[in-house]
Structure 1
């Protein structure tokens, strides 16, 4: 076993590696097994059956004539049944007592034997020699000795085995010559059929080989066969569509991230360069505060980018049971001195299974967004319905137009109202919140609300109860 694994890699030695070769080999092997079983069954049963029919036919004719002889009712001229070539009755001294009409086939040597015991049938195979008009003929001859009123006589009967020999010749030709020919035909047809079926796959492979990371706009050809290969081609094109959109999103993301990171870095650099150029005229306390604010914004953007990258990569983070009611209470407590009051409507308990850090970030982003846009109040509701925890954060600000309700979840997208109210935003908070909700098996959407906007986060209830 170890030798086979070492040299064959766990595969059968000599077995074709290509799919076309494997299927052709399998088809030939299956056909060979079927032909071998059929040939064995044919060779073991058909010859005996054919010979048995002739034996029964001749024996029946001989016994009928023997019965007539015993009864003393034997005619001089015997009428042979169908497919019996001749009948003959000879006395103990060799005289022909009765016979079918004389023909050239009735050679004396075909009836020159006698049964070894009375009332038993002896069987021999004889060959009538060829003549100028007829070829040699193979006969099955049976003989039976019976007692008659005139004394013992021997009844002979014969039937040609030519049809049997001809049938067996064709059977042998099919088994020993036709079977290899059939296997060759099966192999050729399978090879051609599989090649034709795989030709679209070859075209798909060739097209995929031409597609590179720099240009994924090309698509594979879709055959109009409507089969599994056609489905494979369509699925491949759909995958390429998603890859192209993903690549475009990644390029746009990198460009936007570079732009967003450049702004706080440039601001921080400018402040430090001015302070360094005019140290005596610089208010270092104010400059430090502004630099610290720029560094905080930069750190926030980096943290959000890192969390998005982990979510995109499907990184597994530690999870435990988190009560969202308690998380909301803590968030509200930390914002008691905020610009607008937060009004809570909480259920008794809302347990979910998730990452405490990510869920806290989700609520932080929603409350930060509501705080930026609210005019006089923020309403937060946590409820449990149909094995789901529903968190609603609503404000009474300007609201979000229906056509922008999906745009706000695109990375680095900031509406004009958001830019006017907060120039330090990154446009990553809401996209990150939606990714966190999706990573926990939930969703985040914008619902109708007037005045203002209402965000609805849905997370599966822990335990499904």
Structure 2
């Protein structure tokens, strides 16, 4: 990563420097050439003396300049000393625009101007100094650009290494954390920058992984215990019947096996449903009348001998999985039936964009400090720990899992009679 960062930064700077150097050289070349051409044109106008025409004898007396006066036929009528010595009678080229040519091994800029119908004055100005200046600038740029690139690369390598050193340390620390060492955390630097935020985020992730691993171990332990209990009961009765066939009847053994088999089946089905909910089960999305579901539970509980108030049920329709929504209400209804002393109430109340399903009883209620704890798996309160009263401890966990899968919630508070009141909140179908 350090090498890639350095290479990337160096390439970007290299492209910028090359473009800048080329642009600078082009602008400088245009400026120098323009200045020289302008100076030559001004000198040409001075020599032309537009009011009375050039003095031939004056041109012949010029030194250190290349000046020629040409006639209409192109012949040289007069020339400066340097022009005569170098070119003799050879005329300089005449053009509308300035041209550059080499005279006696020296680059010259040539400009010309018509004096009258039969005379043209031509001036050649040396541009050797300009060429040397531009060559010097080009050399400096050719040396400076690589040096700057080396400086940028070295600085980037140093700064990147220093900046990534804490990241490397975090990576090494995280790499050493295994499933057996999830309690370890990454040291958070005091820099209060992105690296510190990364360390904090990593610690948050480790907290969640640690909590998930702890919950998984507790779940496996509790599941093993719950499955072991009915299996042990079946085995004890089978061994008793085998050792003392005259004491234990076949009917009694069959009844025990049947009861414990049903309990095993319920636990396994609950575990499978929880696993599906954890994996994000694909739900059937279809209209469901919650009032019909609630009225069905009222009838079922009344048939079992419970006093159930269903007067608070109002018509409400949601979109979801009918089977799972039915199990959600049934789990809470069965929980109320186990803990109620005599009265149960089920209500369905639509409001704005949501519908509230309430299931309350007149039992002992749920202490405030336990109201979140009871939704964990295999959790039963102290007064309901027996298998007959407390169930498997999975019903409320399943209820909350189904509600979450249906984009809803389940909470518990106090009922009107001092018992428990479970409130399901689901979005109404549009």
Which region of structure 1 is more displaced relative to structure 2, 399-408 or 313-322? 313-322
What whole-Å deviation, never above 9, does each CA across 1:171-219 have from its counterpart, x for those lacking one? Answer: 2114433333333333333344433333333222222221111211222
Name 1:382's counterpart in structure 2: 348
Cα distance, 1:337 vs structure 2: 3.0
CA–CA distance in structure 1, aligned partners of residues 353 and 217 of structure 2:
39
Out of 172, 182, 206, the residue aligned to residue 240 of structure 1 is 206
Do structure 1's residue 461 and structure 2's residue 423 form an aligned pair? no
Which residue matches 2:133? 167
Cα 1:226/1:70, change in 2 over 3 Å: farther
Equivalent position to 2:419, from 434, 441, 452: 452
Q: Distance in 1 between matches of 2:8 and 2:89?
A: 56
Query: Which residues in structure 2 correspond to 1:119-198 (within 5 Å)?
Result: 161-162=128-129, 164-198=130-164
Q: Distance in 2 between matches of 1:158 and 1:143?
A: 8
Contact 1:340 1:371 in 2 (8 A): yes
Q: Residue 63 of structure 1 is aligned with which of 45, 50, 54?
A: 45
The match for 1:282 is: 248
User: Over aligned residues, Cα RMSD in angstroms?
Assistant: 3.9
Does structure 2 retain, via aligned residues, the 8 Å contact 1:352–1:462? yes
Residues 115 and 144 in structure 1, CA contact (< 8 A), matched pair in contact too: no
Instruction: Decide whether the 8 Å contact of 2:366 with 2:420 is kept in 1.
Output: yes
Partner SS for 2:346: strand
**Relative to structure 2, which stretch is displaced further, 28-37 or 47-56?**
28-37
Aligned twin of 1:222: 188
CA-CA distance at 1:39 after TM superposition: 4.0
Rounded to whole Å, the distance in 1 between the matches of 2:162 and 2:361 is 64
- 1:400 counterpart = 2:366: yes
Deviation (angstroms), 1:56: 1.6
Q: 1:127 to 1:237 in 2, by over 3 A?
A: farther
Deviation per residue, 1:352-403 (Å, 9 max, x gap): 2222332222222111111111112100001111221211001011111111
For 1:43-442, what aligned pairs fall within 5 Å after superposition?
Answer: 43-67=25-49, 70=52, 109=85, 116=92, 161-162=128-129, 164-419=130-385, 422-423=388-389, 425-442=391-408
Looking at structure 2, the residues matched to 122 and 318 of structure 1 have their Cα atoms a distance apart, in angstroms, of 86
Give the C-alpha shift of residue 351 in structure 1. Answer: 2.1
Unaligned runs of 5+ in 2: 70-75
**1:135 corresponds to:** none
Change (3 A) 1:62 1:114: farther
Partner of 1:335: helix, strand, or coil? helix
Spell out, residue by residue over 1:146-178, the C-alpha distance to the aligned partner (whole angstroms, 9 max, x if none). Answer: 989xxx99897867753x244312321144333
Structure 1 residues 57 and 395: CA distance shift in structure 2, 3 A: same
Do the aligned partners of 2:111 and 2:123 also contact (CA within 8 Å) in 1?
A: yes
Q: Please say if residues 446 and 455 of structure 1, whose CA atoms lie closer than 8 Å, have aligned partners that are also in contact.
A: yes
Q: Is the 8 A contact 1:62 1:142 kept in 2?
A: no
Q: Number of aligned residue pairs: give it.
A: 419
Contact 2:341 2:363 in 1 (8 A): yes
In 2 relative to 1, CA 73–318 (structure 1 residues): closer, same or farther, beyond 3 Å? same
1:328 Cα deviation (Å)? 1.8
Task: Normalising by structure 2, report the TM-score.
Answer: 0.82
Change in Cα spacing, 1:330 to 1:125, as seen in structure 2 (3 Å) is same
On the 8 A contact 1:437/1:459 being kept in 2, the answer is: yes
In structure 2, C-alpha distance between the alignment counterparts of 1:281 and 1:442, rounded to whole Å: 54
Cα distance in 2 for residues equivalent to 1:412 and 1:447: 20
Structure 2 Cα separation of the partners of residues 456 and 145 of structure 1: 102
Kept after mapping to 1: 8 A contact 2:338/2:389: no
Counterparts of 2:230 and 2:107, CA distance in 1: 112
Equivalent residues of 1:65, 1:74 under 8 A apart: no
CA contact (8 A) 2:44 2:112 kept: yes
Q: Are residues 167 and 230 of structure 1, via their aligned partners in 2, closer, same or farther at CA, if it must alter by over 3 Å?
A: farther
Aligned partner (choices 12, 20, 42) of residue 30 of structure 1: 12
Deviations 1:211-266 (A, max 9, x none): 11121122234344444444333222211110000001111111111222222222
Q: Check conservation: 2:288, 2:322, Cα contact below 8 A.
A: yes
CA distance in 1, matches of 2:31, 2:186: 60
